[in-house]
Structure 1
Amino acid sequence: MHRGWTGLMAAAPLLLSACLFGGGDRPEPRRTAAKSTPARAPARPTAETRQCLAELDRYSIDYRTLPQQDFGNGCVVVGAVQLLDIGIPVSGLRSMRCPLARNFSNWVRYAVAPAARQVMGSDLVRIESYGTFNCRPIAGSKRLSEHGRANAVDVATFVLSDGRRVSVLDGWDGNSREQRFLRVVFRSACKRFTTALGPEYNSAHANHFHLDMGGRPMCR
Protein backbone atom coordinates (compact mmCIF):
# COMPACT_ATOMS: atom_id res chain seq x y z
CA MET A 1 0.00 0.00 0.00
CA HIS A 2 1.18 3.54 -0.68
CA ARG A 3 2.12 5.96 2.04
CA GLY A 4 -0.49 8.71 2.56
CA TRP A 5 -0.10 12.31 1.42
CA THR A 6 -0.59 13.92 4.82
CA GLY A 7 1.49 11.34 6.59
CA LEU A 8 4.64 12.14 4.73
CA MET A 9 6.82 14.69 6.55
CA ALA A 10 9.82 14.86 4.24
CA ALA A 11 10.52 13.99 0.64
CA ALA A 12 13.35 11.78 -0.49
CA PRO A 13 16.30 13.63 -2.04
CA LEU A 14 15.60 14.62 -5.59
CA LEU A 15 19.17 14.79 -6.83
CA LEU A 16 19.39 12.40 -9.75
CA SER A 17 21.11 12.79 -13.09
CA ALA A 18 19.13 13.43 -16.26
CA CYS A 19 19.90 13.95 -19.95
CA LEU A 20 23.63 14.01 -20.61
CA PHE A 21 24.69 17.20 -22.31
CA GLY A 22 28.03 18.96 -22.66
CA GLY A 23 30.38 16.16 -21.71
CA GLY A 24 28.07 14.61 -19.13
CA ASP A 25 27.97 17.53 -16.69
CA ARG A 26 24.85 16.97 -14.62
CA PRO A 27 24.12 19.96 -12.33
CA GLU A 28 22.38 19.28 -9.03
CA PRO A 29 19.35 21.28 -7.91
CA ARG A 30 20.18 24.17 -5.61
CA ARG A 31 17.89 26.14 -3.36
CA THR A 32 18.37 29.89 -3.64
CA ALA A 33 16.67 31.66 -0.78
CA ALA A 34 17.11 35.07 -2.35
CA LYS A 35 15.17 34.07 -5.44
CA SER A 36 12.54 31.74 -4.09
CA THR A 37 11.13 30.55 -0.80
CA PRO A 38 10.43 26.81 -0.52
CA ALA A 39 6.72 26.27 -0.93
CA ARG A 40 4.69 24.53 1.74
CA ALA A 41 3.01 21.27 0.91
CA PRO A 42 -0.65 21.84 0.08
CA ALA A 43 -3.21 20.63 2.60
CA ARG A 44 -4.29 18.04 0.05
CA PRO A 45 -3.48 17.25 -3.59
CA THR A 46 -5.38 18.85 -6.44
CA ALA A 47 -8.34 17.10 -8.04
CA GLU A 48 -6.13 16.12 -11.00
CA THR A 49 -3.51 14.62 -8.70
CA ARG A 50 -6.14 12.82 -6.60
CA GLN A 51 -7.53 11.21 -9.74
CA CYS A 52 -4.05 10.17 -10.81
CA LEU A 53 -3.30 8.70 -7.38
CA ALA A 54 -6.54 6.75 -7.54
CA GLU A 55 -5.39 5.31 -10.87
CA LEU A 56 -2.08 4.25 -9.34
CA ASP A 57 -4.05 2.47 -6.62
CA ARG A 58 -6.27 0.81 -9.20
CA TYR A 59 -3.21 -0.45 -11.08
CA SER A 60 -1.76 -1.80 -7.79
CA ILE A 61 1.32 0.41 -8.09
CA ASP A 62 3.22 0.93 -4.83
CA TYR A 63 4.28 4.54 -4.30
CA ARG A 64 4.58 7.31 -1.77
CA THR A 65 3.38 10.87 -2.22
CA LEU A 66 5.85 13.76 -1.94
CA PRO A 67 5.23 17.31 -0.72
CA GLN A 68 5.38 20.32 -3.00
CA GLN A 69 8.88 21.76 -3.22
CA ASP A 70 10.35 24.92 -4.75
CA PHE A 71 14.03 24.75 -5.66
CA GLY A 72 14.15 28.21 -7.22
CA ASN A 73 14.76 29.22 -10.83
CA GLY A 74 11.31 27.94 -11.78
CA CYS A 75 11.95 24.40 -10.56
CA VAL A 76 8.72 23.80 -8.65
CA VAL A 77 7.65 20.20 -8.10
CA VAL A 78 3.96 19.59 -7.34
CA GLY A 79 1.75 16.51 -7.33
CA ALA A 80 4.78 14.23 -7.26
CA VAL A 81 5.29 10.66 -6.12
CA GLN A 82 8.15 8.23 -5.75
CA LEU A 83 7.51 4.85 -7.31
CA LEU A 84 8.40 2.05 -4.91
CA ASP A 85 7.31 -1.06 -6.80
CA ILE A 86 5.85 -1.35 -10.30
CA GLY A 87 6.68 -5.05 -10.73
CA ILE A 88 10.00 -4.42 -12.51
CA PRO A 89 12.88 -2.75 -10.63
CA VAL A 90 13.94 0.59 -12.14
CA SER A 91 17.08 2.33 -10.92
CA GLY A 92 17.33 6.09 -10.49
CA LEU A 93 13.65 6.89 -9.94
CA ARG A 94 12.98 9.62 -7.41
CA SER A 95 10.45 12.43 -7.73
CA MET A 96 8.00 12.10 -10.63
CA ARG A 97 4.80 14.03 -11.25
CA CYS A 98 1.94 11.60 -10.89
CA PRO A 99 0.87 11.44 -14.56
CA LEU A 100 4.46 10.71 -15.59
CA ALA A 101 4.72 7.99 -12.94
CA ARG A 102 1.42 6.45 -14.04
CA ASN A 103 2.29 6.41 -17.74
CA PHE A 104 5.82 5.19 -17.10
CA SER A 105 4.57 2.31 -14.96
CA ASN A 106 2.06 1.25 -17.58
CA TRP A 107 4.65 1.57 -20.36
CA VAL A 108 7.01 -0.76 -18.49
CA ARG A 109 4.29 -3.26 -17.60
CA TYR A 110 2.28 -3.39 -20.80
CA ALA A 111 4.80 -2.48 -23.51
CA VAL A 112 8.40 -3.05 -22.48
CA ALA A 113 7.97 -6.32 -20.56
CA PRO A 114 5.86 -8.02 -23.29
CA ALA A 115 8.24 -6.80 -26.02
CA ALA A 116 11.20 -8.28 -24.16
CA ARG A 117 9.53 -11.71 -24.14
CA GLN A 118 8.24 -11.53 -27.69
CA VAL A 119 11.23 -9.96 -29.44
CA MET A 120 14.19 -10.86 -27.24
CA GLY A 121 12.86 -14.19 -25.99
CA SER A 122 13.66 -13.39 -22.37
CA ASP A 123 11.91 -11.71 -19.43
CA LEU A 124 12.63 -8.14 -18.46
CA VAL A 125 14.12 -8.06 -14.95
CA ARG A 126 15.44 -4.51 -14.58
CA ILE A 127 15.54 -1.08 -16.20
CA GLU A 128 18.34 1.41 -15.65
CA SER A 129 17.52 5.09 -15.88
CA TYR A 130 19.50 8.32 -15.69
CA GLY A 131 16.91 9.73 -13.33
CA THR A 132 14.01 12.13 -13.23
CA PHE A 133 14.37 15.49 -11.44
CA ASN A 134 17.16 17.91 -12.40
CA CYS A 135 16.77 21.67 -12.06
CA ARG A 136 18.24 22.95 -15.34
CA PRO A 137 17.27 24.49 -18.67
CA ILE A 138 17.01 22.58 -21.94
CA ALA A 139 20.49 22.33 -23.45
CA GLY A 140 21.21 25.28 -25.70
CA SER A 141 18.24 27.33 -24.50
CA LYS A 142 16.98 29.32 -21.53
CA ARG A 143 13.74 27.36 -21.30
CA LEU A 144 13.33 25.12 -18.26
CA SER A 145 13.63 21.41 -18.94
CA GLU A 146 10.75 19.15 -17.95
CA HIS A 147 13.30 17.49 -15.67
CA GLY A 148 13.14 20.70 -13.62
CA ARG A 149 9.47 19.92 -12.90
CA ALA A 150 10.04 16.21 -12.19
CA ASN A 151 8.07 15.66 -15.37
CA ALA A 152 10.62 13.64 -17.37
CA VAL A 153 12.58 10.40 -17.12
CA ASP A 154 15.61 9.19 -19.09
CA VAL A 155 15.80 5.45 -19.81
CA ALA A 156 19.16 3.94 -20.75
CA THR A 157 19.26 0.13 -20.44
CA PHE A 158 16.99 -2.90 -20.31
CA VAL A 159 18.29 -5.97 -18.45
CA LEU A 160 16.97 -9.44 -19.32
CA SER A 161 16.68 -12.60 -17.24
CA ASP A 162 19.26 -14.39 -19.39
CA GLY A 163 21.86 -11.75 -18.49
CA ARG A 164 21.72 -9.72 -21.68
CA ARG A 165 21.76 -5.93 -21.39
CA VAL A 166 20.08 -4.02 -24.19
CA SER A 167 21.29 -0.44 -23.97
CA VAL A 168 20.02 2.40 -26.13
CA LEU A 169 23.62 3.36 -26.89
CA ASP A 170 24.72 -0.04 -28.20
CA GLY A 171 21.42 -1.61 -29.21
CA TRP A 172 19.87 1.09 -31.39
CA ASP A 173 22.28 0.10 -34.18
CA GLY A 174 23.03 -3.33 -32.71
CA ASN A 175 21.87 -6.74 -33.89
CA SER A 176 18.48 -7.12 -35.55
CA ARG A 177 16.67 -8.25 -32.40
CA GLU A 178 17.99 -5.37 -30.33
CA GLN A 179 17.08 -2.87 -33.02
CA ARG A 180 13.58 -4.26 -33.33
CA PHE A 181 13.04 -4.38 -29.55
CA LEU A 182 14.21 -0.80 -28.95
CA ARG A 183 12.13 0.55 -31.81
CA VAL A 184 9.03 -1.30 -30.63
CA VAL A 185 9.29 0.10 -27.11
CA PHE A 186 10.16 3.56 -28.38
CA ARG A 187 7.12 3.67 -30.68
CA SER A 188 4.98 2.59 -27.73
CA ALA A 189 6.49 5.39 -25.64
CA CYS A 190 5.46 7.88 -28.31
CA LYS A 191 1.83 6.87 -27.66
CA ARG A 192 2.06 7.15 -23.86
CA PHE A 193 4.19 10.28 -23.35
CA THR A 194 3.82 13.77 -24.74
CA THR A 195 7.47 13.81 -25.79
CA ALA A 196 9.70 10.86 -26.64
CA LEU A 197 13.22 11.57 -27.87
CA GLY A 198 15.84 9.01 -28.85
CA PRO A 199 19.07 8.53 -30.79
CA GLU A 200 17.59 9.82 -34.04
CA TYR A 201 16.72 13.17 -32.42
CA ASN A 202 20.30 14.30 -31.75
CA SER A 203 23.63 13.06 -30.44
CA ALA A 204 22.79 14.13 -26.86
CA HIS A 205 20.16 11.36 -26.83
CA ALA A 206 22.36 8.65 -28.31
CA ASN A 207 22.44 6.75 -25.01
CA HIS A 208 18.90 7.11 -23.68
CA PHE A 209 15.21 7.69 -24.34
CA HIS A 210 13.95 10.99 -22.93
CA LEU A 211 10.27 10.66 -21.97
CA ASP A 212 8.17 13.51 -20.60
CA MET A 213 4.60 14.72 -20.16
CA GLY A 214 5.04 18.42 -20.95
CA GLY A 215 5.37 20.78 -23.87
CA ARG A 216 4.23 20.00 -27.37
CA PRO A 217 3.85 16.46 -28.73
CA MET A 218 7.04 15.14 -30.30
CA CYS A 219 8.25 11.66 -31.27
CA ARG A 220 11.75 11.63 -32.69
Structure 2
Amino acid sequence: MATLSLSRFCRLALPVAAAILLVTPATAKHHHRHKRHLPPAGQSAAPAPQTPAATAVPGSRPQDMENSADRSGRDKSRIDSNDDFLNQDKSHPKWDARPPRSKSARSAPRTQSEPQTPDVVPTPPQRPTELEPEPPETGPQPSEKPEPPGEEKMLPDPRSADMPADKMPAEETACRERLKALGIRFEEHKAEHDAEIGCSIPYPIILKTLGKSIGISPGAELNCQMAEAAARFMAEIVQPTAKAELGADLKSIDQGSAFVCRPRHGTRKLSEHAFGNALDIAGFTLSDGRKIEVGPTPPEKDAKFLDAVRKAACGPFKTVLGPGADPDHALHFHLDLEPRRHGGTFCQ
Protein backbone atom coordinates (compact mmCIF):
# COMPACT_ATOMS: atom_id res chain seq x y z
CA MET A 1 0.00 0.00 0.00
CA ALA A 2 2.78 2.37 0.88
CA THR A 3 4.57 1.58 -2.34
CA LEU A 4 1.50 2.37 -4.35
CA SER A 5 1.05 5.73 -2.67
CA LEU A 6 4.70 6.75 -3.30
CA SER A 7 4.50 5.93 -6.98
CA ARG A 8 1.26 7.91 -7.33
CA PHE A 9 2.87 10.90 -5.58
CA CYS A 10 5.76 10.86 -7.97
CA ARG A 11 3.49 10.83 -10.99
CA LEU A 12 1.63 13.87 -9.63
CA ALA A 13 4.77 15.82 -8.56
CA LEU A 14 6.58 15.65 -11.88
CA PRO A 15 3.89 17.53 -13.88
CA VAL A 16 3.66 20.18 -11.14
CA ALA A 17 7.44 20.76 -11.18
CA ALA A 18 7.44 21.04 -14.96
CA ALA A 19 4.65 23.59 -14.83
CA ILE A 20 6.56 25.69 -12.29
CA LEU A 21 9.67 25.67 -14.49
CA LEU A 22 7.63 26.76 -17.50
CA VAL A 23 5.85 29.57 -15.65
CA THR A 24 9.04 31.09 -14.06
CA PRO A 25 10.71 32.43 -17.32
CA ALA A 26 7.44 33.93 -18.46
CA THR A 27 7.03 35.69 -15.13
CA ALA A 28 10.60 37.02 -15.27
CA LYS A 29 10.05 38.34 -18.78
CA HIS A 30 6.82 39.96 -17.68
CA HIS A 31 8.58 41.69 -14.79
CA HIS A 32 11.50 42.78 -17.03
CA ARG A 33 9.10 44.28 -19.55
CA HIS A 34 7.40 46.34 -16.86
CA LYS A 35 10.59 47.23 -14.91
CA ARG A 36 10.82 50.94 -14.12
CA HIS A 37 13.95 52.64 -15.32
CA LEU A 38 15.45 54.96 -12.69
CA PRO A 39 17.15 58.18 -13.82
CA PRO A 40 20.91 58.54 -13.23
CA ALA A 41 22.20 60.23 -10.07
CA GLY A 42 21.84 64.01 -10.05
CA GLN A 43 18.97 63.99 -12.59
CA SER A 44 15.50 64.57 -11.31
CA ALA A 45 12.96 61.94 -12.16
CA ALA A 46 10.28 62.81 -14.65
CA PRO A 47 6.97 63.50 -13.00
CA ALA A 48 4.62 60.50 -13.08
CA PRO A 49 1.61 60.93 -15.31
CA GLN A 50 -1.49 61.76 -13.40
CA THR A 51 -4.14 59.07 -13.43
CA PRO A 52 -7.48 60.47 -14.38
CA ALA A 53 -10.12 60.27 -11.74
CA ALA A 54 -12.31 57.16 -11.84
CA THR A 55 -15.47 57.68 -13.78
CA ALA A 56 -18.70 55.89 -13.08
CA VAL A 57 -19.33 52.93 -15.41
CA PRO A 58 -22.99 52.08 -16.09
CA GLY A 59 -24.10 48.64 -15.02
CA SER A 60 -24.25 45.91 -17.70
CA ARG A 61 -27.30 44.15 -18.65
CA PRO A 62 -27.70 40.41 -17.77
CA GLN A 63 -27.40 39.35 -21.42
CA ASP A 64 -24.27 41.42 -21.88
CA MET A 65 -22.75 39.92 -18.75
CA GLU A 66 -23.26 36.42 -20.11
CA ASN A 67 -21.76 37.30 -23.49
CA SER A 68 -18.74 38.97 -21.85
CA ALA A 69 -18.21 35.94 -19.62
CA ASP A 70 -18.14 33.65 -22.66
CA ARG A 71 -15.72 35.99 -24.48
CA SER A 72 -13.42 36.30 -21.44
CA GLY A 73 -13.27 32.54 -21.11
CA ARG A 74 -12.29 32.13 -24.77
CA ASP A 75 -9.69 34.92 -24.49
CA LYS A 76 -8.17 33.42 -21.36
CA SER A 77 -7.79 30.01 -22.98
CA ARG A 78 -6.17 31.66 -26.03
CA ILE A 79 -3.67 33.58 -23.84
CA ASP A 80 -2.79 30.41 -21.89
CA SER A 81 -2.06 28.54 -25.10
CA ASN A 82 0.16 31.39 -26.33
CA ASP A 83 2.07 31.42 -23.03
CA ASP A 84 2.61 27.67 -23.25
CA PHE A 85 4.05 28.08 -26.74
CA LEU A 86 6.39 30.86 -25.62
CA ASN A 87 7.55 28.91 -22.59
CA GLN A 88 8.29 25.86 -24.72
CA ASP A 89 10.28 28.00 -27.13
CA LYS A 90 12.34 29.52 -24.29
CA SER A 91 12.93 26.14 -22.64
CA HIS A 92 15.08 25.15 -25.64
CA PRO A 93 17.98 27.67 -25.65
CA LYS A 94 19.58 28.49 -28.97
CA TRP A 95 23.31 28.28 -29.37
CA ASP A 96 25.09 31.60 -29.91
CA ALA A 97 26.95 31.63 -33.20
CA ARG A 98 29.64 33.97 -31.80
CA PRO A 99 32.64 32.26 -30.13
CA PRO A 100 32.82 32.71 -26.35
CA ARG A 101 35.03 35.52 -25.14
CA SER A 102 37.84 34.79 -22.76
CA LYS A 103 37.73 36.07 -19.20
CA SER A 104 40.53 38.50 -19.80
CA ALA A 105 38.74 39.87 -22.85
CA ARG A 106 35.57 40.40 -20.87
CA SER A 107 37.39 42.15 -18.02
CA ALA A 108 39.51 44.40 -20.25
CA PRO A 109 37.99 47.86 -20.93
CA ARG A 110 37.03 48.74 -24.43
CA THR A 111 39.62 50.92 -26.15
CA GLN A 112 39.67 52.57 -29.50
CA SER A 113 41.58 50.70 -32.11
CA GLU A 114 45.02 52.20 -32.74
CA PRO A 115 45.74 53.25 -36.31
CA GLN A 116 48.14 50.97 -38.05
CA THR A 117 51.50 52.50 -38.98
CA PRO A 118 52.35 52.04 -42.62
CA ASP A 119 55.52 50.14 -43.44
CA VAL A 120 57.02 53.12 -45.30
CA VAL A 121 56.45 56.60 -43.87
CA PRO A 122 56.38 59.22 -46.63
CA THR A 123 59.05 61.87 -46.17
CA PRO A 124 57.95 65.50 -46.78
CA PRO A 125 59.89 67.31 -49.47
CA GLN A 126 62.79 69.36 -48.19
CA ARG A 127 62.33 73.11 -47.97
CA PRO A 128 64.43 74.90 -50.58
CA THR A 129 67.42 76.70 -49.20
CA GLU A 130 66.67 80.39 -48.72
CA LEU A 131 68.96 82.62 -50.65
CA GLU A 132 70.68 85.31 -48.64
CA PRO A 133 69.31 88.72 -49.60
CA GLU A 134 71.65 90.74 -51.70
CA PRO A 135 72.89 93.91 -50.07
CA PRO A 136 71.18 97.01 -51.41
CA GLU A 137 73.04 99.10 -53.86
CA THR A 138 74.95 101.87 -52.25
CA GLY A 139 73.18 105.09 -52.96
CA PRO A 140 74.78 108.49 -53.08
CA GLN A 141 76.08 109.41 -49.68
CA PRO A 142 75.20 112.84 -48.32
CA SER A 143 78.03 115.25 -48.21
CA GLU A 144 79.64 115.79 -44.85
CA LYS A 145 78.13 118.57 -42.83
CA PRO A 146 80.46 121.54 -42.85
CA GLU A 147 81.85 122.54 -39.52
CA PRO A 148 80.59 125.76 -37.98
CA PRO A 149 82.77 128.75 -38.67
CA GLY A 150 83.79 128.96 -35.02
CA GLU A 151 85.24 125.43 -35.15
CA GLU A 152 87.18 125.90 -38.40
CA LYS A 153 90.84 126.81 -38.34
CA MET A 154 91.54 130.48 -38.77
CA LEU A 155 93.37 131.85 -41.75
CA PRO A 156 97.05 132.29 -40.92
CA ASP A 157 98.23 135.62 -39.60
CA PRO A 158 101.94 136.34 -39.08
CA ARG A 159 101.19 138.02 -35.75
CA SER A 160 99.96 134.67 -34.33
CA ALA A 161 103.56 133.52 -34.03
CA ASP A 162 104.64 136.47 -31.90
CA MET A 163 106.03 135.33 -28.55
CA PRO A 164 107.64 137.39 -25.78
CA ALA A 165 111.43 137.48 -25.69
CA ASP A 166 113.58 137.17 -22.61
CA LYS A 167 114.13 140.92 -22.72
CA MET A 168 111.42 143.43 -23.70
CA PRO A 169 112.21 145.03 -27.09
CA ALA A 170 113.23 148.69 -27.25
CA GLU A 171 110.02 149.84 -29.05
CA GLU A 172 107.88 148.37 -26.26
CA THR A 173 109.95 150.12 -23.62
CA ALA A 174 109.75 153.45 -25.50
CA CYS A 175 105.92 153.14 -25.80
CA ARG A 176 105.56 152.76 -22.09
CA GLU A 177 107.70 155.83 -21.49
CA ARG A 178 105.38 157.90 -23.69
CA LEU A 179 102.30 156.68 -21.80
CA LYS A 180 103.82 157.76 -18.53
CA ALA A 181 104.63 161.18 -19.95
CA LEU A 182 100.93 161.65 -20.92
CA GLY A 183 99.87 160.87 -17.39
CA ILE A 184 98.29 157.50 -18.35
CA ARG A 185 98.06 154.81 -15.70
CA PHE A 186 98.47 151.20 -16.77
CA GLU A 187 99.57 147.79 -15.50
CA GLU A 188 101.73 145.13 -17.10
CA HIS A 189 100.00 141.83 -17.95
CA LYS A 190 101.33 138.39 -18.82
CA ALA A 191 101.59 137.45 -22.48
CA GLU A 192 98.51 136.14 -24.30
CA HIS A 193 98.95 133.25 -26.73
CA ASP A 194 96.56 130.64 -28.13
CA ALA A 195 98.30 128.45 -30.71
CA GLU A 196 95.09 126.65 -31.75
CA ILE A 197 93.12 129.81 -32.59
CA GLY A 198 96.07 132.11 -33.29
CA CYS A 199 95.50 134.89 -30.75
CA SER A 200 98.62 136.57 -29.45
CA ILE A 201 99.79 139.65 -27.48
CA PRO A 202 103.43 139.28 -26.51
CA TYR A 203 103.53 142.40 -24.24
CA PRO A 204 100.00 143.43 -23.17
CA ILE A 205 99.05 146.14 -20.66
CA ILE A 206 95.85 146.91 -18.71
CA LEU A 207 94.85 150.51 -19.41
CA LYS A 208 93.44 152.19 -16.27
CA THR A 209 93.11 155.81 -17.51
CA LEU A 210 93.35 157.69 -20.79
CA GLY A 211 95.13 160.73 -19.32
CA LYS A 212 95.28 162.87 -16.23
CA SER A 213 91.55 163.70 -16.31
CA ILE A 214 89.95 160.95 -18.49
CA GLY A 215 89.06 157.57 -17.16
CA ILE A 216 88.08 154.26 -18.84
CA SER A 217 85.69 151.67 -17.47
CA PRO A 218 86.34 148.85 -17.18
CA GLY A 219 90.10 148.60 -17.63
CA ALA A 220 91.10 147.53 -21.15
CA GLU A 221 93.72 144.91 -22.07
CA LEU A 222 95.52 146.21 -25.15
CA ASN A 223 98.88 146.21 -26.78
CA CYS A 224 100.89 149.32 -26.00
CA GLN A 225 100.55 150.91 -29.45
CA MET A 226 96.72 150.73 -29.39
CA ALA A 227 96.64 152.05 -25.83
CA GLU A 228 98.73 155.07 -26.83
CA ALA A 229 96.56 155.78 -29.91
CA ALA A 230 93.36 155.66 -27.84
CA ALA A 231 94.77 157.94 -25.13
CA ARG A 232 96.01 160.57 -27.59
CA PHE A 233 92.70 160.53 -29.51
CA MET A 234 90.66 161.13 -26.37
CA ALA A 235 92.85 163.95 -25.12
CA GLU A 236 93.45 165.69 -28.46
CA ILE A 237 90.10 165.11 -30.34
CA VAL A 238 87.24 163.99 -28.12
CA GLN A 239 87.90 166.37 -25.20
CA PRO A 240 87.73 169.61 -27.23
CA THR A 241 84.75 168.29 -29.27
CA ALA A 242 82.73 167.61 -26.12
CA LYS A 243 83.49 171.14 -24.83
CA ALA A 244 82.42 172.69 -28.13
CA GLU A 245 79.28 170.65 -28.84
CA LEU A 246 77.99 169.82 -25.36
CA GLY A 247 79.51 172.53 -23.16
CA ALA A 248 81.20 170.10 -20.76
CA ASP A 249 84.48 168.26 -20.38
CA LEU A 250 84.93 164.54 -21.09
CA LYS A 251 85.17 162.64 -17.82
CA SER A 252 85.41 158.97 -18.95
CA ILE A 253 84.46 156.46 -21.62
CA ASP A 254 82.56 153.17 -21.38
CA GLN A 255 84.42 150.50 -23.31
CA GLY A 256 82.60 147.49 -24.77
CA SER A 257 85.54 145.17 -25.41
CA ALA A 258 89.29 145.18 -25.84
CA PHE A 259 91.26 141.90 -26.07
CA VAL A 260 88.96 139.01 -27.13
CA CYS A 261 90.33 135.83 -28.69
CA ARG A 262 87.85 135.36 -31.57
CA PRO A 263 87.51 135.69 -35.35
CA ARG A 264 85.58 138.35 -37.17
CA HIS A 265 81.88 137.62 -37.23
CA GLY A 266 81.01 135.11 -39.96
CA THR A 267 84.59 134.79 -41.27
CA ARG A 268 87.71 132.70 -40.73
CA LYS A 269 89.86 135.77 -40.33
CA LEU A 270 90.96 136.71 -36.83
CA SER A 271 89.58 139.93 -35.42
CA GLU A 272 91.90 142.75 -34.41
CA HIS A 273 90.59 142.16 -30.89
CA ALA A 274 92.52 138.83 -30.96
CA PHE A 275 95.77 140.84 -30.96
CA GLY A 276 94.74 143.56 -28.48
CA ASN A 277 94.72 145.96 -31.41
CA ALA A 278 91.08 147.20 -31.18
CA LEU A 279 88.84 149.04 -28.75
CA ASP A 280 85.01 149.30 -28.74
CA ILE A 281 83.47 152.46 -27.24
CA ALA A 282 79.82 152.22 -26.14
CA GLY A 283 79.39 155.66 -24.54
CA PHE A 284 80.86 158.83 -23.07
CA THR A 285 80.34 160.40 -19.65
CA LEU A 286 80.66 164.19 -19.27
CA SER A 287 81.83 166.19 -16.29
CA ASP A 288 78.26 167.37 -15.58
CA GLY A 289 77.06 163.74 -15.34
CA ARG A 290 75.43 163.44 -18.74
CA LYS A 291 75.88 160.17 -20.63
CA ILE A 292 76.14 160.06 -24.41
CA GLU A 293 75.39 156.57 -25.68
CA VAL A 294 76.27 155.30 -29.13
CA GLY A 295 73.17 154.19 -31.03
CA PRO A 296 71.31 154.40 -34.33
CA THR A 297 68.99 157.29 -33.33
CA PRO A 298 70.53 159.48 -30.61
CA PRO A 299 69.14 162.92 -29.68
CA GLU A 300 70.06 165.78 -31.99
CA LYS A 301 72.79 167.33 -29.81
CA ASP A 302 74.25 163.92 -28.98
CA ALA A 303 74.13 162.92 -32.64
CA LYS A 304 76.14 165.99 -33.65
CA PHE A 305 78.83 165.17 -31.09
CA LEU A 306 78.96 161.48 -32.07
CA ASP A 307 79.19 162.27 -35.78
CA ALA A 308 82.12 164.62 -35.17
CA VAL A 309 83.99 162.01 -33.10
CA ARG A 310 83.34 159.32 -35.69
CA LYS A 311 84.68 161.40 -38.57
CA ALA A 312 87.73 162.52 -36.62
CA ALA A 313 88.65 158.90 -35.74
CA CYS A 314 89.22 157.96 -39.37
CA GLY A 315 92.96 158.64 -39.73
CA PRO A 316 94.33 158.09 -36.25
CA PHE A 317 92.73 154.60 -36.55
CA LYS A 318 92.83 152.46 -39.66
CA THR A 319 89.32 150.99 -39.15
CA VAL A 320 86.28 152.88 -37.84
CA LEU A 321 82.84 151.23 -37.68
CA GLY A 322 79.62 152.28 -35.99
CA PRO A 323 75.82 152.38 -36.30
CA GLY A 324 74.75 151.84 -39.89
CA ALA A 325 77.88 149.92 -40.89
CA ASP A 326 76.41 146.52 -39.96
CA PRO A 327 74.18 145.08 -37.22
CA ASP A 328 77.20 144.04 -35.13
CA HIS A 329 78.25 147.67 -34.66
CA ALA A 330 74.87 149.29 -34.10
CA LEU A 331 75.57 150.20 -30.45
CA HIS A 332 79.27 151.08 -30.35
CA PHE A 333 82.23 152.54 -32.22
CA HIS A 334 84.87 150.06 -33.29
CA LEU A 335 88.40 151.52 -33.52
CA ASP A 336 91.48 149.50 -34.49
CA LEU A 337 94.99 149.81 -35.95
CA GLU A 338 94.81 146.99 -38.49
CA PRO A 339 97.78 147.36 -40.87
CA ARG A 340 96.62 148.11 -44.41
CA ARG A 341 98.42 148.61 -47.67
CA HIS A 342 99.86 152.05 -48.19
CA GLY A 343 98.51 153.17 -44.80
CA GLY A 344 94.92 153.10 -46.04
CA THR A 345 91.82 153.27 -43.82
CA PHE A 346 88.37 151.67 -43.73
CA CYS A 347 85.72 153.89 -42.17
CA GLN A 348 81.94 153.42 -42.19
| TM-score, shorter chain, exceeding 0.5 | yes
**8 Å contact 1:92–1:131 — kept in the other structure?**
no
Counterpart secondary structure, 1:51: helix
**Aligned letter for 1:218?**
F
Give distance in 1, aligned partners of 2:309 and 2:217.
Answer: 18
Q: CA deviation at 1:40?
A: 7.0
Compared CA separation, residues 109 and 92, structure 1 to 2 (3 A): same
Within the candidate set 287, 299, 302, 1:175 is matched to: 299
TM-score w.r.t. length of structure 2? 0.49
Query: After superposition, what is the alpha-carbon deviation per residue over 1:107-151, rounded to whole angstroms, capped at 9, x for unaligned?
Result: 111111211111011222221111201111000100000111111
Please name the residue that 1:105 is paired with. Answer: 231
Counterpart secondary structure, 1:81: strand
Q: Which has the higher contact order (CA 8 A, sep 6+)?
A: 1
Within the candidate set 221, 227, 248, 1:122 is matched to: 248
Counterpart secondary structure, 1:95: strand
Within the candidate set 332, 335, 340, 1:208 is matched to: 332
Please name the residue that 2:282 is paired with. Answer: 156
**8 Å contact 1:52–1:99 — kept in the other structure?**
yes
Unpaired segments ≥5 residues, structure 1: 1-26, 28-38
**Aligned residue-pair number:** 182
Give distance in 2, aligned partners of 1:218 and 1:40.
Answer: 28
Is 1:53–2:53 an aligned residue pair?
no
**Aligned letter for 2:347?**
C
Unpaired segments ≥5 residues, structure 2: 1-149, 151-161
After TM superposition, the structure 1 = structure 2 runs for residues 87-98 of structure 1, keeping only pairs within 5 Å, are 87-98=213-224
Please name the residue that 2:105 is paired with. Answer: none
**8 Å contact 1:197–1:210 — kept in the other structure?**
yes
Provide runs of 4+ in structure 1 moved above 4 Å: none
Identity %: 32
Give distance in 2, aligned partners of 1:57 and 1:162.
Answer: 27
Q: CA deviation at 1:177?
A: 1.6
Is 1:70–2:196 an aligned residue pair?
no
Give distance in 1, aligned partners of 2:169 and 2:243.
Answer: 38
Which structure is higher in strand share? 1
TM-score w.r.t. length of structure 1? 0.75
**8 Å contact 1:42–1:68 — kept in the other structure?**
no
Give distance in 1, aligned partners of 2:246 and 2:335.
Answer: 22
RMSD (CA atoms): 2.1
Give distance in 1, aligned partners of 2:199 and 2:311.
Answer: 29
Give distance in 2, aligned partners of 1:51 and 1:40.
Answer: 19
Counterpart secondary structure, 1:100: helix
Q: CA deviation at 1:62?
A: 1.9
Give distance in 1, aligned partners of 2:192 and 2:298.
Answer: 41
Q: CA deviation at 1:95?
A: 1.5
The structure with the largest alpha-carbon Rg is: 2
Please name the residue that 1:191 is paired with. Answer: 315
Within the candidate set 203, 207, 218, 1:83 is matched to: 207
Give distance in 2, aligned partners of 1:168 and 1:137.
Answer: 23
Give distance in 2, aligned partners of 1:191 and 1:93.
Answer: 24
Please name the residue that 2:9 is paired with. Answer: none
